Amino acid sequence: MRFHPFCPLDIPYPMMHFQSLFYVRSLPPAAGSMSSQAVKLRADDNYVVMDNGILEVYLSKKGGFISAIQYNGVDNLLEVLNEADDRGYWDIVWNEADSTGTTGIYERVVGTSYKVIVQNDEQLEISFTKTWDRSSMEEKQSPLNIDIRYVMLRNSCGLYCYSIFEHRKEWPAFNVPQIRMVFKLRKDKFNYMAIADNKQRLMPVPDDRLPTRGRTLVPPEAVLLVDPIEPHFKGEVDDKYQYSSNNKDIKVHGWISSKSETNPAMGFWVIIPTNEFQSGGPLKQNLTSHVGPITLAMFLSSHYAGEDVVMRVQRNESWKKVFGPIFIYLNTSSENQVQPSLWKDAKDQMSKEVQSWPYDFPASGDFHKSHQRGSVYGTLKVQDRFISDHHILAEGAYIGLAPPGEPGSWQTECKGYQFWTQTNKRGFFSINNIHSGNYNLYAWIPGFIGDYCNNVVLTIKPGNKVNVGEIVYEAPRNGPTLWEIGIPDRTAAEFYVPDPNPNYINTLYLNHPDRFRQHGLWERYADLYPNEDLIYTVGHSDYTKHWFFAHVTRKRDDGTYHGTTWQIKFKLHNVQKNGTYKLRLALAAVNFSQLQVRVNNPKEDPPMFTSGLIGKDNAIARHGIHGLYRLYNIDVSSHLLVKDDNIIYLTQTIANGPFQGIMYDYIRLEAPPSHK
């Protein structure tokens, strides 16, 4: 008699014989092979089953949750210890319009109406819809209509997932900090996580994070593994934010199961073929996979940006957006080196999905097919007359379309779609497959400060190929460079990142390019500068060794925190009388900070410049090396400067805890323009 995957799955493992969790049948075709079976639909009173002969996906009729995925002879890849609605699902965090902050009401999306949209031998598409009305307010449901779609294709080793979110004009205003899709996998099977070529490792299990085995640190997402089930994890720190990545780099990530004599290793992967539907543009950081084992598809989040990227839908505002499709890809391998084999195959599949975008199979009319899209192309150059008398080719620039706004507003844009690419060596770019609509063209160029934004709204229509010709970005510049610190690349990665406290390490990031992902690096500042703050001497100091990656607070012996003042010492051979010098301060991240700037007088009151309270990026606590980019252009009167020795004082005044601080991207002092 066949084992039914939904009756016994809520029974904890210790109450069952281990073997009873599996029903081993003839194995389906391995990843990349074919099945002759047409796509089939089965349904009873409780579940809808999508089956193409390679995998079977069980969806709960009351909710649209993914309750089971059968593959490779295993009846469920999802966590059977969880309730059926806590394995694969969409969720949203929202709050009422007058609320502030990045938290709110947690709502797991429940599709109350089920419908078959497409059913034939080649494709099956199923819809679960949640419909809002005034009575939903009493049930604390978000004022949204949500249509969740699942698509299975013939000969496909996976499942496509997408959704359509809609807010109607007459509905209440509200805020949304987060929209995502979640998959919780079997902790008894999946133990190896891969999110990039150089970010792969065996992972602890959730039990290792319990108070009986781990010690919660600050922030509480971080746990020191004191008595883990596998002893080799002892002394490591586990924190989901250590595995965050930029949107542009989150194309495939997931988990690999352990291999046994009877079960080949399997991979479970989330493939995101485009970033067009994700908020915040290509540099927005988001979660990927982490201990659970959990793997995520983040569509909207406030992580590494704060309230600035909370979506605020106003009263009398109509809004609709399609999130996805993403592809849940499964593969299997019997090779000896299973992890490299499955990871390579997953990357190959990701490349195929990217090349296939936009898909031609989604049935929703809200998803734009290729014939409904347009393109924009042109050439980007830079003008900086103190570097070159000629326009400079903008090689490797990030250039994209986003809803109309101001320079840099794409960083916080979260209602519409964004379309980005990078220029080639000649500054040429071509942005393809753009939704019909109105956009501004935005860009930023590594090596130059500031943001480009055209002042003309581009209207994209189906089939349009818009040639914008030669675009010239006039980089901020008043005069020649007297000195500079760092590289204008919107991160603090080039600055000094200390070794972690050996009591709080993640072995993945030892001798790793992303060494900034280690826990507790903010505390190392006080170790390196126990009494005096950082002093940087232009012409002698090396920013890769002597400029700490984050301008943080200092913790005193009594447990209190204090603001810190950094000094930049430099010489001027002469000072132009009645001239205005320009200090460029490009910030990579800020969290609840106030930056004050003084010149040659550390007690000047008021300071020459103050930023006011800025930033809620929280990048320091969450092991990021950047958040939202900010640029301050500060006039420095010549009467504040002297011939020979000068000092600029940078003070971060807010000190309520360890995570107030600033990450600098780049600092430059320019002479008055007559020095050219």
How confident is the model over 449-470, as a mean pLDDT?
96
Task: Decide: 391 and 381 in contact? Cβ < 8 Å.
Answer: yes
Q: What are the C-alpha distances in Å from 341 to residues 39, 261, 271, 345?
A: 28, 18, 17, 6
What is 382-405 written as a DSSP string? EE-TTT-SSPEE-TT-EEEEESS-
Closest CA to 666 of 382, 409, 449: 449
Smallest CA-to-CA distance from 597 within 586, 608, 588 is with: 608
Query: Could you report the per-residue pLDDT of 511-549, keeping only the tens digit for each?
Result: 999 999 999 999 999 999 998 999 999 999 999 999 999
Averaged pLDDT score across all residues of the chain: 93
CA distance 595 to 485: 17
DSSP 25-71: -SPPPPTT----PPPEEEE-SSEEEEE-SSEEEEEETTB--EEEEEE
Amino acid making up residue 613: L
- DSSP-assigned states of every residue in 530-588: SSS--EEETTT--HHHHSBSSEE-EE-TTS-EE-EEEEEEEEES---TT-EEEEEEEEE
pLDDT score of 557: 85
Distance CA 477, CA 48 (A): 62
Closest alpha carbon to 371 in 353, 380, 359, 355: 359
Q: How far apart are CA 95 and CA 99, in angstroms?
A: 6
pLDDT at 243: 98
The confidence band for 34, taking pLDDT boundaries of 50, 70 and 90, is low
Residue 11: per-residue pLDDT: 33
- Cα distances (Å, whole numbers) of residue 229 to 69, 114, 233, 256, 282: 27, 42, 8, 19, 38
pLDDT single digits (tens) 259-268: 877 789 999 9
Give 110-150 pLDDT, tens digit per residue.
999 999 999 999 999 999 999 998 776 667 899 999 999 99
C-alpha 112: how far from chain center: 30
Cβ neighbours of residue 658 closer than 8 Å, sequence gap 6 or more: 218, 522, 523, 552, 553, 555, 561, 620, 621
Q: Which of 18, 176, 32, 22 is nearest to 95 (CA)?
A: 176
Closest CA to 452 of 432, 468, 436, 433: 468
* pLDDT tier, 5 (very low <50, low <70, confident <90, very high otherwise): very low
Contact of 395 with 424, CB cutoff 8 Å: yes
pLDDT score, position 1: 30
Percent of the chain with pLDDT over 70: 94
Query: What does the DSSP assignment read for 186-220?
Result: -TTTEEEEEEETTEEEE---GGGGSTTTEEE-SST
pLDDT for position 675: 52
Of 88-102, 159-173, 335-349, the range with the lowest mean pLDDT is: 88-102
Tell me, what DSSP letter sits at residue 344? Answer: H
pLDDT tens, 472-520? 999 999 999 999 999 999 999 999 999 999 999 999 999 999 999 999 9
Angle at 365 between CA 359 and CA 368, to 5 degrees: 45
Over residues 19-25, the mean pLDDT reads 31
What residues contact 55, with CB distance under 8 A and at least 6 apart? 28, 69, 70, 71, 157, 158, 159, 330
Window from 378-382, 498-502, 558-562, 578-582 with minimum mean pLDDT: 558-562
In angstroms, the CA 185 to CA 579 distance is: 64
| Chain mean position to CA 651 | 30
Share of the chain above pLDDT 90, in %: 89
The CA R_g of the chain, rounded to the nearest whole Å, is 27
Specify whether the CB–CB gap between 218 and 208 falls below 8 A: no
Tokens of 540: 């002698």
For the cut 50, the answer to whether the pLDDT of residue 17 exceeds it is no
Q: What is the pLDDT of residues 649-658, one digit of tens each?
A: 999 999 999 9
Could you tell me the end-to-end alpha-carbon distance of the chain, in angstroms, rounded to an integer? 87
Picking from 25-39, 385-399, 468-482, 571-585, which range would have the lowest pLDDT averaged per residue?
25-39
Position 8 confidence tier, pLDDT thresholds 50, 70, 90: very low
CB-based contact 605:665 (threshold 8 Å): no
Q: Quick one: average pLDDT of 271-295? A: 98
Q: Which amino acid is at 329?
A: Y
Query: Tell me, what amino acid is at 668?
Result: R
The per-residue DSSP string of 301-328 comes to --TTTGGGG-EEEPTT--EEEEEEEEEE
Cα–Cα dist 427/424, whole Å: 5
> Is a pLDDT exceeding 50 seen at residue 191?
yes
Share in percent of the chain as helix, strand, coil (round to 5): 10, 40, 45
What CA–CA distances, in Å, run from 105 to 140, 309, 387, 571?
8, 17, 52, 55
Indicate the burial class of 217 (C-beta count within 10 angstroms; 0-12, 13-18, 19 or more): middle
